[in-house]
Amino acid sequence: MNQTLENFLCVFKCPVCLDPIRLGDEESTLCPVCRAKFESEKREICVDCGLPAPLCRCHGEFMPRDDNGRLVKLAFYRAGNRSAIDRLVLRMKHCLDGRAFDFAARQLAPGILSELAERGSEPSRAIVTYAPRSARSERRDGFDQGLELSLAISRVTGIRHETVLYRSKHSRMQKSLDPISRHRNAAEAFRTAKDTDLAGFDVILVDDVVTTGSTMNSCISLLKRARAGAVICVALAKTRTS
Ligand SMILES: [Zn+2]
Ligand SMILES: [Zn+2]
């Protein structure tokens, strides 16, 4: 099929393989092949708790061991292995594809709402926010995927979005550092505005991928210092090294 005709017949592209999604398949954001792949990746069992990723709440290595470190996630992630989740994460990092963000938000919503319910909270007493990426990455891609995911989660769940975390001026990119330096760097990488007061609110804290959890850990401390109630950490995926 030539490109023009294909574009005319196929309105959307699958955010994982970038193949056009044909008429009749529009209700699913992913093409049928990637959808099947993604569903099977979601069934991968956590080596620590024995549950599939969407039910596993295991923390990152450097995240608090209490309820505030429980991590809602969709899948386990190995960078560069061309899995559906790996390609979805990459797409969302570098391309402002609204349907990909909406898809991820719809996938994450049940886990978020059940965590709120389990803690006796409700959407009207919560806000959703994100761990901002470095200014350099944001300049390169023109947007912050954490913000976009946070906004999409807000649209899907009805939980109010609020930006409360900011990057400190001189923070370095986490990616280039070893785990211990990451942990030290993350502790100084974020800040809240001086008058931030989250008393009475639980916070849904969004990031794209959690590796050691240093970023989450540092953001949780700041949110707690601003008197937040429960913190519920949310990521598309948690990195698996094995
Ligand atoms: Zn696809
Ligand atoms: Zn687990």
All domains of the chain in start order, with CATH: 13-239 (3.40.50)
Sign of CA dihedral 78, 175, 97, 55: positive
Distances (CA, A) of 235 to 59, 184, 200: 11, 21, 24
Report whether pLDDT(150) > 90. yes
Report whether pLDDT(89) > 90. yes
Q: Which residue has the higher pLDDT, 68 or 28?
A: 68
User: Distance between CA 230 and CA 124 in Å, rounded?
Assistant: 14
% of the chain surpassing 90 pLDDT:
72
Q: How far does the chain reach from its first CA to its final CA, in angstroms?
A: 42
Ligand 1 midpoint to CA 126 (Å):
34
Ligand 1 midpoint to CA 214 (Å):
32
55's enclosing H/E stretch is none
Ligand 2 midpoint to CA 241 (Å):
14
Nearest ligand, measured from the Cα of 240: 2
User: Distance between CA 98 and CA 113 in Å, rounded?
Assistant: 22
pTM of the entire predicted model: 0.90
Q: How many CB atoms lie within 10 A of CB 182?
A: 22
Three-class secondary structure assignment of 200-219: CCEEEEEEEEECCCHHHHHH
- SS3 assignment, position 215: helix
Residues near ligand 2 ion, CB 5 Å cutoff: 46, 48-49, 56, 58
**Interval 32-51 mean pLDDT:** 95
**Interval 184-193 mean pLDDT:** 84
User: Tokens at residue 19, please?
Assistant: 């193949």
Chain segment 192-236, per-residue pLDDT in tens: 998 999 999 999 999 999 999 999 999 999 999 999 999 999 999
User: Distance between CA 217 and CA 233 in Å, rounded?
Assistant: 10
User: Tokens at residue 70, please?
Assistant: 């429980």
